[in-house]
Structure 1
Amino acid sequence: MSWTASFDYATSFVGVSTFIFCFYMMKRPKGFPPGPYGLPIVGYIPFIGINPGETLRQLKEKYGSVMSVQMGRDDWVILNDFDTINEALVKQGDKFSGRPENYVFDLITTGRALVTRDFGSIWKELHKFGLMTLKGFGVGKKGMEANVIEETPFLIENLTSKNGQRLHAKLFLAVSNIICRVILGSRFEYNDKKFNHMLEIVQKYAENTTHSKLLTALSLAPLLRFFPPFKGVAKITKDDSNSMLGYLREIVEKHESNFDENDIHDFIDAFLVEMKRSKTNNKSFNKQMLIQFIRDLFDAGSETTSTTLAWALLCFGNYPERQERIADEVMKTLGEDGVPSMKHQNEMPYTCAFIHELMRHRTLAPLSVYHKTNEEATLDGYTIPKNTTVAPNLWAVHFDPKHFENPEEFRPERFLDRDGKFVKSNHVIPFSIGPRSCLGIQLAKMEIFIFLTGIVQKLKVLPDPKKPLPSFHDGGFSLVTYQPRDFEVIFERR
């Protein structure tokens, strides 16, 4: 046999083997939802665009409300409308409330506490404790409201200072201090070095940067971690995670040294009480779980709310008439010196409508936090096997013309009735729905309302003529959240 013939046989063998391998890898289970495949290793990631929620919403026209898409080597199921999300996450909540393994999330948290922990007895125990404890420290009640009100002047003063901090960082400092009051029992000064480093670590993967884009791709296709530049990003993330956990461990150990079970000040103290009551080697209540839990609360309690406020300020800069309409309500209700509080919501219907529309139009987590099926499930006639990653497309719900006329328009008035009263829509679900919905919904709503009205009462937001504002209608996707382009505004005292 000649060398040429041998080469031809070898080439044919490799080609056939590759075809069989790709066919096997791309084969989907019987009854699985239809959808695009993508490329080997990375799947559909190169085609997902800057906003996966919008890309997948558009694919709904071809594949339907329940569809699949290849992410890396795995096939995910995407839920593209409210009815299917409600059916899966609420009506079949026990089947769809798992959490898939995710290389990047595990890298960030160095273990699983609440947000990324799979559905089961440990998660249920921690979730129950979290709900009861946060309510006990005033989340959604007067006590926490007082903390937000007390933080507002610090935020306003920082916004007007020229200290070199970026706008989003200033918002981040104030919002993070609220969750710190709950977790740690105290706030940080805005110039505290450790506090600022902790926030820098979170912002590095949470904001719309090259770093976070690489992490996003890595979370969808973990095999990329073996190749540059993803390998370097993974190492940086791991080092940052160790630094963050080191700070939190110091805080926990300080609480342990001063612990008095008859004098409970904060979330950490409450958790230490449970640790003392529990048996040794308890899987739910132990020191490592406490550190991971407060890491979850710190991350989730900081980034989403500060980003919502950033979107609001970008809107004010682009559309001053929106800002002034809110300012009119604030002045009529509070005057120049009144203190904003949640009791004023009924007197500020346009402000409430603006916030509701902001959460719809600028959906913070377009694909929520990924779910996983705990057992085989049937949805819209399709069979979804156990351990399938499921992504509820909240963006598709918020831009569904069936529920919102001309959804591309930013129009707070859609949530005002003929008498000018605020009317909430059950189809605005920025915090998701079902058992895995956000633990801090009431706190987030409180912070956004009080901080926003407090800012507008004292300050006028103006565009910086030297730094043109990006479009309010265009952002970018980070690891989980949809972020505005980096921008700055000028704050002028009213």
Structure 2
Amino acid sequence: MNILGYNFDLFDFTQPIAHLALIALVVLLTFWYRRPPNSPPGPRGIPLFGVLIFVGKYMERTLAKWKNTYGSIMSVRLGLRDILVLNDFESINQALVKQQATFSGRPHLKLLDEITKGGGIASLDYGDLWKSQRKFGLMTLRGFGVGKKSMESRVSEEVACLNEAIRSENGKAFDISNVLHKAISNNICDVILGKRFDYDDKHFEEVMHQLLSPVEDQLTTFAIRIFKVAPWLGKIPPMSFLVSRIGSKLRFVQEFIQNVIDEHEQSYDKENMRDFIDAFLKEMKKGDNKDFSNHQLLQYIRQLFFAGTETTSSTLNWALLCLLHYPESQKKMREEIIDVIGFEGIASMSHKSSMPYTCAFIHELMRYRTLAPLSVFHKTNEDTELNGYFIPKNTLVAPNIWAVHNDPEYWEEPEKFKPERFINEKGEFVPSSHVIPFSVGPRHCLGEQLARMEVFLFLISMVQKFEFLPDPEAKELPDIDDGVNGGGFIPHSFRLVAKQM
């Protein structure tokens, strides 16, 4: 080729570039697919993204399928990080229980760190701060009634308020999720904030909306899942707009909580401990423990507020969906409830032993619709071995709770809803240690006792007072297999009819 009198050989000019590009590609692929010695097997996916574009909407289900190829313990590359996936009960128990000190860390996730700034409880890494805050939380919640008869009475009072709100719909089809959120939230608010809120309180309704919308919107929950393993995507539009949106919602909630803390500061009386905030303020005022600060209190309350609202209300929403899809189960449960406490009796935790089918229904519900399919990511605190594999320090760990709850080697027809699987030949309820909705080990859910109490008492009372029927204007039943899948697996909004008994 002759240009302005100079001759260029285009092939000769581009050939070195092509060679360099090829070498660079080989180096990149070699680095990407290289594994540390004796590491667990698993897919690497493609550079930068790993298997993100292959796992689909229900990552936990895809990971469970890959167990057939790679085994129960896998190393899966998500984004730029390798995640240790534990795909059965034995591996989860071995890691989180038998090696609990090693596997109880929390990874530093950029999006989460920007929100909590090192505070809270669920997001704290394993160490002295987490231990002191966990101990304080357990003792304080118990001190204010969680797990005791006094808490049961308070829950029963809220149950009565919920039933009145349901009754006010006069048998018309409605979405019950909003009133369920408020009822369940009032129980945790009573303990941590020292107050409950009327269901028609507009400001509280907006707080609830801002608190829960990030996990109820499919697009936002998808983004959160991506940010956990590929935080760099949060800097790129349109993902960056979602990050800003999430941050705005959380700031609104935190302003609400901070106002309540400020009110407690002004009316604080060391001789009258009203709630969790007062107990925390008491520790702060001692002035000799830097673990207790206003920032730590704010994040602690926010996380308790969210976890104490979303998880239980979503469990009850799934329960109501099951009642619509399995009317025979609803009939059996109601007959048992009426037989034990009648139409006007008040449910008590002491009735559990007399209600085997109801207990089996709840146990199967927590297996069938796993609310936290991949639990909360853990992190290894040191180099270790698991079933002969070398696991380096700071490895992200994903306990696949969904895989445990749907393991065909343990469960017969796991895809079906069958409360009877937990009833023995004597008609007794027999729980399974393989149903672990609250996870296991030292980082299992802090509010497990309260959540179990709420689900039992609320569900019994609702089934006692109402027959739940599908919306007569709907062409088909609400989907029970699909849901919003982000940090948790929650049902899409649906309408039902509550026919008073």
Report the TM-score, using the length of structure 1 for normalisation: 0.96
CA contact (8 A) 1:208 1:485 kept: no
Which secondary structure state, in structure 1, belongs to the residue aligned with residue 499 of structure 2? strand
| Structure 2 counterparts to residues 241-252 of structure 1, below 5 A | 241-252=250-261
Residue 180 of structure 2, aligned match among 163, 171, 182: 171
Distance in 2 between residues matched to 1:111 and 1:475, nearest whole Å:
34
The change in CA–CA distance for 1:107 and 1:26 in structure 2 (over 3 A counts) is farther
Distance in 1 between residues matched to 2:306 and 2:445, nearest whole Å:
12
1:69 and 2:76 aligned: yes
Distance in 2 between residues matched to 1:213 and 1:75, nearest whole Å:
19
Using the TM superposition, give the Cα deviation of residue 208 of structure 1 relative to its aligned residue in structure 2, in angstroms: 5.1
- The equivalent residue for 1:292 is 299
More moved, 370-379 vs 415-424:
415-424
Residue 342 of structure 1, aligned match among 337, 349, 358: 349
Using the TM superposition, give the Cα deviation of residue 51 of structure 1 relative to its aligned residue in structure 2, in angstroms: 1.7
Distance in 1 between residues matched to 2:63 and 2:119, nearest whole Å:
28
* Paired residue type of 1:416: I
Gaps of 5+ in 1: none
Using the TM superposition, give the Cα deviation of residue 164 of structure 1 relative to its aligned residue in structure 2, in angstroms: 10
Using the TM superposition, give the Cα deviation of residue 126 of structure 1 relative to its aligned residue in structure 2, in angstroms: 0.2
* Paired residue type of 1:148: V
| Structure 2 counterparts to residues 46-57 of structure 1, below 5 A | 46-57=53-64
Which secondary structure state, in structure 1, belongs to the residue aligned with residue 415 of structure 2? coil
Distance in 2 between residues matched to 1:442 and 1:278, nearest whole Å:
32
- The equivalent residue for 1:155 is 162
Residue 380 of structure 2, aligned match among 373, 376, 379: 373
| Structure 2 counterparts to residues 247-286 of structure 1, below 5 A | 247-279=256-288, 282-286=289-293
1:451 and 2:458 aligned: yes
CA contact (8 A) 2:175 2:496 kept: no
Which has the greater radius of gyration? 2
Distance in 1 between residues matched to 2:67 and 2:290, nearest whole Å:
42
Q: CA RMSD in A?
A: 1.7
* Paired residue type of 2:69: K
Which secondary structure state, in structure 2, belongs to the residue aligned with residue 175 of structure 1? helix
* Paired residue type of 2:472: P
CA contact (8 A) 1:110 1:241 kept: no
Gaps of 5+ in 2: 1-7
- The equivalent residue for 1:437 is 444
Alpha-carbon deviations, 1:394-433, whole Å to 9, x = none?
A: 1111112333222222110111111111111111110000
1:123 and 2:124 aligned: no
* Paired residue type of 2:401: L
Distance in 1 between residues matched to 2:355 and 2:344, nearest whole Å:
16
Distance in 1 between residues matched to 2:461 and 2:84, nearest whole Å:
42
Which secondary structure state, in structure 2, belongs to the residue aligned with residue 43 of structure 1? coil
Which secondary structure state, in structure 2, belongs to the residue aligned with residue 195 of structure 1? helix
Using the TM superposition, give the Cα deviation of residue 200 of structure 1 relative to its aligned residue in structure 2, in angstroms: 1.1
- The equivalent residue for 2:193 is 184
* Paired residue type of 2:302: R
Distance in 1 between residues matched to 2:387 and 2:322, nearest whole Å:
38
| 4+ runs deviating over 6 angstroms | none
- The equivalent residue for 1:6 is 13
* Paired residue type of 1:213: F
CA contact (8 A) 2:211 2:250 kept: no
- The equivalent residue for 1:480 is 487
Alpha-carbon deviations, 1:153-176, whole Å to 9, x = none?
A: 221222344599842222111111
* Paired residue type of 1:302: T
Which secondary structure state, in structure 1, belongs to the residue aligned with residue 299 of structure 2? helix
More moved, 245-254 vs 159-168:
159-168
* Paired residue type of 1:138: G
* Paired residue type of 1:230: M
Distance in 1 between residues matched to 2:71 and 2:484, nearest whole Å:
23
CA contact (8 A) 1:108 1:237 kept: no
Distance in 2 between residues matched to 1:26 and 1:194, nearest whole Å:
52
Alpha-carbon deviations, 1:71-118, whole Å to 9, x = none?
A: 110010000111111110011000000001113333444543110110
Distance in 1 between residues matched to 2:114 and 2:343, nearest whole Å:
47
CA contact (8 A) 2:88 2:407 kept: yes
- The equivalent residue for 2:4 is none
* Paired residue type of 2:136: F
CA contact (8 A) 1:107 1:241 kept: no
CA contact (8 A) 1:51 1:477 kept: no
- The equivalent residue for 1:82 is 89
How many percent identity over aligned positions?
A: 46
- The equivalent residue for 2:5 is none
Report the TM-score, using the length of structure 2 for normalisation: 0.95
- The equivalent residue for 1:469 is 477
- The equivalent residue for 1:322 is 329
Using the TM superposition, give the Cα deviation of residue 482 of structure 1 relative to its aligned residue in structure 2, in angstroms: 1.2
Residue 28 of structure 2, aligned match among 18, 21, 25: 21
